């Protein structure tokens, strides 16, 4: 998840990166299928919802990046 995060955020402005982090985290917190407009590579992580013990592994880097970007937001 962390390597995908870095790849997806590379070269993006802070606002876009923050939006992507929020979209990813919302998808994993949803009870059902996430939004249809989620990137295919990110949508693969939706399977983590079926494994509650793995959720922290899937979300930790995204939550930390979201906090980091919030501090730098315009």
pLDDT tens track for 37-65: 778 899 899 999 999 899 999 999 999 99
Counting the structural domains of the chain, the total is 1
Q: How far apart are CA 64 and CA 34, in angstroms?
A: 21
Q: Looking at residue 64, what is its pLDDT?
A: 97
Q: What confidence category does residue 33 fall into, taking pLDDT thresholds of 50, 70 and 90?
A: low
Q: How far apart are CA 39 and CA 20, in angstroms?
A: 10
Q: Looking at residue 55, what is its pLDDT?
A: 92
Cα separations in angstroms, 56 against 3, 14, 51, 72: 15, 23, 10, 24
Range of the domain at 16: 2-72
For residues 22 and 63, the answer to whether their CB atoms sit within 8 Å is: no
pTM: 0.86
User: What Rg do the C-alpha atoms of the chain give, in angstroms?
Assistant: 12
């Amino acid at each position: 998840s962390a390597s995908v995060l870095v790849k997806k955020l590379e070269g993006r402005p802070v606002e876009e990166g923050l939006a992507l982090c929020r979209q990813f985290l919302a998808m994993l917190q949803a009870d059902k299928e996430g939004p249809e407009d989620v990137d295919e590579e990110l949508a693969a992580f939706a399977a983590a919802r079926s494994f509650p013990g793995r959720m922290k592994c899937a979300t930790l880097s995204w939550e930390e990046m979201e906090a980091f970007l919030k501090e730098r937001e315009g």
